[in-house]
A and B are shown apart, each in its own frame.
Chain A
Amino acid sequence: GAGVSQSPSNKVTEKGKDVELRCDPISGHTALYWYRQSLGQGLEFLIYFQGNSAPDKSGLPSDRFSAERTGGSVSTLTIQRTQQEDSAVYLCASSPRGGLLAGYNEQFFGPGTRLTVL
């Protein structure tokens, strides 16, 4: 079956512009995660969605970052007024379920979107 897909695969933008990154999770997966992979910081958690619960935004680095998940499926990560330090690979993952009683909870990762801010 289809895995997690992300678009675009590469995005080059100018400092100060807004960007939107898209994630299509595996069909039926209720939990969705965004991570950022950068040279200086490694792999960092950004945000987590689980069903209709309020998202866990504890990893978002600033208020320029936001994300939404429409209809419990597709998610969009938006970065406003991009800065050079936002350059990174943004990874999306989904899992069959989340929550405190999730138990076995493998996260399946997409190929990522490489963002370059000039």
Chain B
Amino acid sequence: AQSVTQPDIHITVSEGASLELRCNYSYGATPYLFWYVQSPGQGLQLLLKYFSGDTLVQGIKGFEAEFKRSQSSFNLRKPSVHWSDAAEYFCAARGGATNKLIFGTGTLLAVQP
């Protein structure tokens, strides 16, 4: 079955520290991959996406993600975290033959001053 796994439920980092959020997928073929962020009381905002080509993709707010086919991973990174980055982050995938997104369970990021 198609699935997306985010192994970390909750992560706390210090402001200014680097961040990596993990995402693994299980699909028959390489899906389209997305990272969304959800701030409290807000809808989901797309940070970045991967369809094909360059495996390192840049997104908004200084985020980037790297697609690694050999590891079935699409980890999200940011070199220096800001307090405003505290939110819940969702990795999602969509197969080529369907339009529905399959989401991971999310990673809640807390940022310490």
Interface residues, chain A, CB within 8 Å of chain B? 3-4, 31, 33, 35, 42-45, 48, 50, 56, 58-59, 91, 93, 95, 98-100, 102-112
Interface string of B15-42 (1 = CB under 8 A from A): 0000000000000000010101000011
Q: Residue of A at shortest CB range from B106?
A: A42
Q: In the bound complex, do residue B100 and residue A33 qualify as a contact, i.e. CB atoms below 8 Å apart?
A: yes
Residues in A neighbouring B60, C-beta threshold 8 A: none
Asked if B70 is an interface residue, CB under 8 A from chain A, the answer is no
Q: In the complex, how many angstroms separate the beta carbon of A117 from the nearest chain B beta carbon?
A: 20
Partner of A45, one of B90, B102, B106: B102
Given the known A-B contacts A42-B105, A105-B94, are A48 and B99 also in contact in the complex, defined by CB atoms under 8 Å?
yes
Residues in A neighbouring B42, C-beta threshold 8 A: 111
Q: In the bound complex, do residue A45 and residue B43 qualify as a contact, i.e. CB atoms below 8 Å apart?
A: no
- Lowest 8 CB-CB distances: which A-B pairs, in order? A43-B103, A109-B43, A45-B100, A109-B44, A111-B43, A42-B105, A98-B99, A110-B43
Q: Interface residue count for B (Cβ, 8 Å)?
A: 25
Q: Residue of B at shortest CB range from A6?
A: B43
Residues in A neighbouring B46, C-beta threshold 8 A: 106-108
Q: In the bound complex, do residue A105 and residue B99 qualify as a contact, i.e. CB atoms below 8 Å apart?
A: yes
Can you give 26 A-B contacts (C-beta < 8 A)? A3-B43, A31-B99, A35-B103, A42-B103, A42-B105, A43-B106, A44-B103, A45-B102, A56-B100, A98-B99, A99-B99, A100-B96, A100-B97, A102-B99, A103-B51, A104-B49, A105-B32, A105-B94, A105-B99, A106-B49, A107-B46, A109-B36, A109-B45, A111-B41, A111-B42, A111-B43
Q: How far is the CA of A93 from the CA of B34 in the complex (A)?
A: 15
Asked if B101 is an interface residue, CB under 8 A from chain A, the answer is yes
